[in-house]
Amino acid sequence: MSKKPVRTASSKKDRDAVTMKRVVGLADTVARTTLSGREPVIHVPTRALSNTVWDKKHGILRMGEARQERELFNLNQAKVFMQTLLHSESIKSLIEADKTLSLRAMFYKGLHTIAGTKEKTFADQDESDAILEDLEVTLGSLREELHIFAKKAGTMVGNITIIDTGDEIDCRRMGSGGYAIPSIVEPDIIQFKKCDARFVLHVEKNTVWSRFNEDKFWQKHNCILTEGGGQPPRGVRRLLARLNRELGLPIYCLLDCDPWGHYIFSVIKQGSMSLAFESERLAIPEAKFIGLRAMDYDRCQLTDDVQIALNDNDTKRAKQIADYPWFKGHRGWQKEIDRLLSNGFKMEVESLITKDISYVTETYVPERLKAKDWLD
């Protein structure tokens, strides 16, 4: 089983065949090991900070070589070993039936009481989700290749027309709600038909996104407006990455001025630790952080009312983020985080409302873009 996804197969059918081969291979290895009298082991690449490598050249996080042995005959691993095989079986049947299931549905698919006991195969969905993430890295197949999707979380509107599973969708005519970005946005699901936009503005939350949409910001500035509900799910990140790579659109992010906002930017830009193996596909090294900046308190002359004091956890988190290898050598980010810490408070994007209802859409963002004032 190769560690990294090999994306040579182009058609969906080919990719399914490859995934199927990997699933069968996994079970077959276990069976053959067992029948030859050895203890079965599944090698699962480690999903942890310790096993991520900072690829400075490409500006993304990559997964390291470390692998964990998942043993059946280990008290702590026996159950997850069983669960891994249960989900493998589910995935096989999904591919055969050519259907996809949500993470929650996968939990139910594998759920039953173990024969002769009162124990259930999965205690809750978290257990199931973790196994699926393990399977992705173990098989080297993406979640969508395993025929699994997550719930929709993310909205898009703007000067673009796409085709989603055959339906043409004009993102200029999405009303107040916007187009819900699906979990799977691979080219065989979504194709870009026509795009006039010059850039993408990604905001952190739906509330901010609504403000921009109502002010028709995307019409005035000819852009695409997206939102990821906090940390953007994979569908949103993948779509942003495709817009960036395939259509060459720059991605600007408007996030809160707090460690969480910084972290979201870090994930969008470099990739996340738990999904480091997908960074190549998901990370957008060119993404830019336009705000909110720590200096905006002075620059925009905000009042004391918008200050939210940093708690111990925030301080700790901020220092951690400052220590990330991709931020460590970055003077701008070091200054930004230092400023945040010396301010002693955080600010939300909504704090700009105190200036004016549309200050953020009419003044703040346009000014930053014009001044090319951002962090990358």
If one counts every other C-beta atom within 10 angstroms of the C-beta of residue 53, the result is 14
Instruction: Determine phi and psi for 180, rounding to 5 degrees.
Output: -80, 120
Q: Pick the catalytic residue: 108, 252, 324, 364?
A: 108
Give least dist CB 121 to another protein, A: 7
Provide the Cα torsion 258, 259, 263, 266; round to 10°: 80
Q: Pick the closer one to another protein by CB: 77 or 270.
A: 77
Q: Given the complex with another protein, which of 6 and 24 has the nearer CB atom?
A: 24
Residue with tokens 């060459």: 248
Pick from 290, 293, 301, 298: which is nearest to 367 by CA?
Answer: 290
Q: Whole-number minimum distance, CB 21 to another protein, in Å?
A: 12
**Cα angle 47-50-56, degrees, rounded to a multiple of 5:** 100
108 in catalytic set: yes
In the complex, what is the shortest distance from the CB of residue 204 to another protein, in angstroms, rounded to a whole number? 41
- Sign of the alpha-carbon torsion through 134, 140, 144, 147: negative
- Residue 71 or 286 with smaller CB distance to another protein: 71
Q: Which is nearer to another protein, 33 or 343 (CB)?
A: 33
Q: Compare residues 82 and 302 and give the one whose CB is closer to another protein.
A: 82
DSSP-assigned letters across all residues of 36-104: TTSPPEEEEE--SGGGEEEETTTTEEEE-S-EEEEESSSTTTHHHHHHHHHHHHHHHHHHHHT--EEHH
- Residue numbers at the binding site for another protein (CB under 8 A): 23-24, 26-28, 30-31, 34-35, 37, 39-40, 72-73, 75, 78-79, 81-82, 85-86, 88-89, 92-93, 114-119, 121
Rounded Cα gap, residues 219 and 197, in angstroms: 9
State the Cα–Cα distance between residues 261 and 254, nearest whole angstrom.
9
Compute the least distance from the CB of residue 15 to another protein, in Å: 18
Distance from C-alpha of 227 to C-alpha of 376, rounded to nearest angstrom: 19
Q: Are 73 and 91 in contact (CB under 8 A)?
A: no
Could you tell me the smallest distance in angstroms from the CB atom of residue 85 to another protein? 4
Nearer to another protein (CB atom), residue 119 or residue 167: 119
How far, in Å, CA of 227 to CA of 205, rounded?
6
Q: Smallest distance, Å, CB 145 to another protein?
A: 17
Residue 211 tokens, joined: 């403000």
What is the nearest approach in angstroms of another protein to the Cβ of residue 43?
17
Nearer to another protein, 21 or 56 (CB): 21
Helical axes 125-139 vs 103-110, angle rounded to 10°: 100
- Eight-class DSSP state of 364: I
Amino acid at 197: A
Using the minimum distance from each CB to another protein, give the nearer residue, 110 or 232.
110
Please state, in angstroms and rounded to a whole number, the distance separating the CA atoms of residues 216 and 103: 35
What is the sign, positive or negative, of the torsion defined by CA atoms of 152, 242, 54, 315?
Answer: negative
- Min CB(113)–another protein separation in Å: 10
Catalytic sites, residue numbers: 108
